[in-house]
Amino acid sequence: MSTLVIRPASITDISSIVEIRLVAFTDEEVDGFIVPQKSVYTSVERLRNMWNKDNLLKDGCEVFVAENEAKVVGFIVYNMKSFDDNIDNIIVAKKEQGKGVGRALVEYVEALAKTRGVNFISTDTTENAEGVPWKSYSFWRKMGYEDHGERVATEYGFKVIPLVKELK
């Protein structure tokens, strides 16, 4: 990562965000791990319609992108709620996975949260019906997020694994 830059996303980043999501993983890879419907991040039109920055801020969401050599290679959605700040979504371009982009995005959001007086930050991942966690589980554990063993069943057959980290 020679020139990795993390910055707030803008409406001009929408097509890059959608492109990253479309190639980050296949439908087959996520089968049994996510809601079986198209994500807002897979459609430029849907994301653009939802993007109104005032609404994102009013709802407590912020989106940040990671750029390497002026090309967007990942994004993270940080949701600030008075009772539970959380990382709502993070996706890194397939070719950039394993190169520290995800770590940089998470560390950026954690540092931002600390400057705002946040003591704990949460996220989640999923496990399929067979009890196999999605590949992000090991990433979150390496990042210091704790799994307290709770599993929340969904109507889609997978379970949500809540994870939390104390920011020191």
Instruction: Tell me the pLDDT tens digit for each residue of 93-109.
Output: 999 999 999 999 999 99
pLDDT > 70? residue 56: no
Strands (E), 28-158: 61-68, 71-79, 86-92, 120-127, 146-147, 152-153
Instruction: Tell me the pLDDT tens digit for each residue of 132-151.
Output: 999 999 999 999 999 999 99
Q: Is 65 exposed, middle or buried (0-12, 13-18, 19+ CB in 10 A)?
A: buried
Identify the structural domains of the chain with CATH numbers, from first to last: 4-118 (3.40.630.30)
Section 117-142 average pLDDT:
94
Percent of the chain with pLDDT strictly greater than 90? 56
pLDDT > 70? residue 59: no
From CA 128, how far away is CA 114, in angstroms rounded? Answer: 33
From CA 145, how far away is CA 166, in angstroms rounded? Answer: 8
pTM for this predicted structure: 0.88
